[in-house]
Amino acid sequence: MIPGSFEYFAPTSLNEALDLLKTHGDDAKVLAGGHSLIPTMKLRLAEPAVIIDITRIGDLRGVSEPDGKLVIGALTTHYELESSALVQQKVPILSQTAAAIGDVQVRNKGTIGGSLVHADPAADWPATILALDADLKVAGPDGERVIKATDFFQELYTTALEPEEILTEIHVSIPAANTKGVYLKQYQAASGFALTGVAVLLTRSGDTCQKVAVGVNGVADVAYRATGVESELAGKTLSAENIAAAAEKAADGVDAMEDIHASPAYRANLAKVYAQRAIAQLAS
């Protein structure tokens, strides 16, 4: 299908983009990579009167390492994160997650910021960003503020971002040497989206789990931290029995989604299976 008509703006600075967003309000949509917005426009699920294309704002792209953190510009593409030597060295789970997204075309054009703001429950980034306990920096008419990843994803396709705000950066603390991470997913065959995806950061001392963080996407209508798994395993030896018992809590308290691809019970079971596999992989 063909999208409805709209007015198009391509600002070259963040301030210009924010001014446009303030002027046009609810009539406007921000275009980052386009792999979420454009399909919904083609299906007429979204019919914005104004498109604000921020892809020409160079300050919103790239990865740097100030003060023991990775700072990721919101317009950094999936492929740039997948292939970055800095990311692979400092926080390799980010590269793993990027490599699991879509296909080559999607990874070359899609952006981490666009994916996070769209908040598709089957998208890959939210699980990893939650496990990393990242901070999301946003800019708006009242200045800048930081939103914790655990507060950012609120409901189906809904985040804590205000209508006149733009996500500008993702801040990720570089894990300690005894912390490793992995992202695993069950692919939906046609789209490549996650029927279930599990991101795990495991901090260990010998055979003991000091701390574990588990992010899950594709199960509920919003990505979440599997706190039951985290509390069950913390302080215990990384035995197969303890890992299996902790993984059983991967969908505790969650209303799993149902659609043509999977039942709620199947999705909840996948969360347990992939949590167990991810933790076991890091413990081996």
At 35 the pLDDT is 78
| Residue 1 predicted with pLDDT over 80 | no
Residue 222 lies in a domain: yes
Residue 278 lies in a domain: yes
Task: Compute the average pLDDT of residues 185-208.
Answer: 93
Residue 32 lies in a domain: yes
Q: Does 17 share its domain with 83?
A: no
Q: Does 75 share its domain with 131?
A: yes
Task: Compute the average pLDDT of residues 223-250.
Answer: 98
Residue 183 lies in a domain: yes
Task: Pick the last residue of a domain from 139, 173, 207.
Answer: 173
Residue 237 lies in a domain: yes
Average pLDDT, the chain: 95
| Residue 222 predicted with pLDDT over 80 | yes
| Residue 70 predicted with pLDDT over 90 | yes
Q: Report the number of distinct structural domains present in the chain.
A: 3
Which domain, by its residues, includes 86? 62-173
78-113 pLDDT per residue, tens: 999 999 999 999 999 999 999 999 889 899 999 999
Task: Compute the average pLDDT of residues 222-229.
Answer: 98
Q: Does 77 share its domain with 30?
A: no
Residue-by-residue DSSP string for 124-152: SHHHHHHHTT-EEEEEETTEEEEEEHHHH
Q: Does 231 share its domain with 279?
A: yes
Q: Domain of 222: which CATH number?
A: 3.30.390.50
Q: Does 260 share its domain with 235?
A: yes
Q: Does 97 share its domain with 155?
A: yes
Q: Do 231 and 254 touch, CB atoms closer than 8 A?
A: no
Task: Compute the average pLDDT of residues 201-208.
Answer: 97
At 263 the pLDDT is 95
What span, in angstroms and rounded, lies between the C-alpha atoms of 105 and 76? 15
| Residue 270 predicted with pLDDT over 80 | yes
The residues near 86 (Cβ < 8 Å, ≥ 6 apart) are 63, 65, 70
Q: At what angle do helices 264-283 and 240-247 cross, to 10 degrees?
A: 150
Q: Which of 25-39, 158-172, 195-209, 223-237 has the lowest mean pLDDT?
A: 25-39
Q: Domain of 124: which CATH number?
A: 3.30.465.10
Task: Pick the last residue of a domain from 119, 142, 173.
Answer: 173
Q: Domain of 15: which CATH number?
A: 3.30.43.10
Q: Do 120 and 157 touch, CB atoms closer than 8 A?
A: yes
Q: Does 67 share its domain with 156?
A: yes
